[in-house]
Amino acid sequence: MDVTQWTGRHATWLQDAFEDTQEEFAARLGVSVRSVASWHKSPDMVPKLETRRILNTAYYEGAGDAVRKLFIHYARAHAQQEQAQALRVAIAVVRRGNEVLLVCRQDGDDIAWQFPAGIVKPGGSAAKVAVRETLGETGVHCRVREHLGERLHPVTRAMCDYFACDWLHGEAVNGDESENAAVAWAPIRELARYIPTDRIYPPILNALEATV
> Domain spans of the chain?
8-85, 87-209
CA angle (80, 85, 90) in 5-degree steps: 110
Contact (CB, 8 A) for 44 and 7: yes
The domain made up of 87-209 has a fold known as: Nucleoside Triphosphate Pyrophosphohydrolase (3.90.79)
Q: pLDDT tens string for the chain (212 positions)? A: 778 789 999 999 999 999 999 999 999 999 999 999 999 999 989 999 999 999 999 999 999 999 999 999 998 888 777 665 668 899 999 999 999 999 998 765 555 899 999 999 888 899 999 999 999 999 999 999 999 999 988 777 788 999 999 999 999 999 888 778 899 999 999 999 999 888 899 999 999 987 55
Contact (CB, 8 A) for 29 and 58: yes
For 40, left (φ over 0), alpha (ψ -120 to 50), or beta? Answer: alpha
Give CA–CA dist 60/6, Å, rounded: 13
Give CA–CA dist 48/45, Å, rounded: 10
Q: What is the pTM of this model?
A: 0.60
Give CA–CA dist 66/36, Å, rounded: 22
How many CB atoms within 10 Å of residue 61?
7
Q: What are phi and psi of 20, to 5 degrees?
A: -95, 150
